[in-house]
């Protein structure tokens, strides 16, 4: 059995800590959005929705998977670049998390349809920029974000259509 040098173990444990921190920050975003959306299932069912809207139960599993993919993507970038060099990219990651978490407050808690549309459009752009930036560092990191972009693109269309059908409420 070959024993790894202590320096290698320290580097590896550092990256596991980075993964834990990224997972915690991403989880905080999910929790913050979840707090805003405590009445979301009831509110969502009260809204007129387009015929192509997914069932309410699908959102939780979809977002869980997307948050996992986001976290792994950011982690791959930090591993490839190292923390100091990845810091600007992690600011971009943090910015999209803020826009992501804010959307639930705008739509579900405050019922601000137009503001939620502006926010989700900003989120879409931030994700697209993040994909390009992450892809340049590590293509797999960019690829892991493609389902997120697709889902937010779909969610943008759903947000606009739902707002259009409920302008008196949203």
Sketch out the chain's domains with CATH numbers: 7-165 (1.20.1260.100)
Q: CA separation (Å) from 114 to 58, 98, 102, 106, 139?
A: 24, 18, 13, 9, 34
Quote the CA–CA distance of 35 and 103 in Å, as a whole number. Answer: 12
Beta strands (DSSP E) in 92-155 are none
pLDDT at residue 39, as a whole number: 81
Q: What are phi and psi of 122, to 5 degrees?
A: -60, -45
Per-residue burial over 6-18, b if 16 or more Cβ lie within 10 Å, else e, is eeeeeeeeeeeeb
With pLDDT > 70 as the criterion, what percentage of the chain qualifies?
93
pLDDT in tens, 129-140: 999 999 999 999
Per-residue pLDDT of the chain (170 residues; tens, 9 = 90+): 565 554 544 556 788 999 999 999 999 999 999 898 888 778 888 999 999 999 888 999 999 999 999 999 999 999 999 989 999 999 999 999 999 999 999 999 999 999 999 999 999 999 999 999 999 999 999 999 999 999 999 999 999 999 999 998 99
110: Cα within 13 Å, side-chain hemisphere: 11
């Amino acid at each position: 059995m070959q024993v790894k040098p202590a320096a290698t173990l320290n580097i590896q444990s550092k990256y596991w800590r980075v993964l834990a921190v990224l997972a915690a920050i991403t989880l905080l975003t999910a929790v913050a959005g979840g707090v805003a959306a405590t009445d979301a299932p009831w509110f969502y069912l009260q809204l007129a929705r387009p015929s192509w809207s997914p069932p309410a139960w699908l959102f939780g599993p979809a977002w869980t998977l997307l948050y996992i993919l986001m976290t792994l993507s950011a982690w791959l970038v930090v591993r490839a670049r190292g923390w100091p060099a990845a810091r600007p990219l992690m600011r971009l990651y943090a910015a999209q998390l803020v826009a992501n978490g804010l959307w639930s407050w705008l739509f579900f808690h405050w019922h601000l349809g137009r503001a939620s549309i502006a926010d989700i459009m900003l989120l879409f752009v931030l994700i697209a920029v993040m994909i390009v930036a992450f892809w340049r560092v590590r293509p797999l990191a960019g690829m892991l974000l493609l389902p997120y972009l697709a889902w937010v693109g779909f969610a943008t269309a759903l947000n606009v259509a739902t707002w259009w059908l409920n302008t008196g409420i949203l």
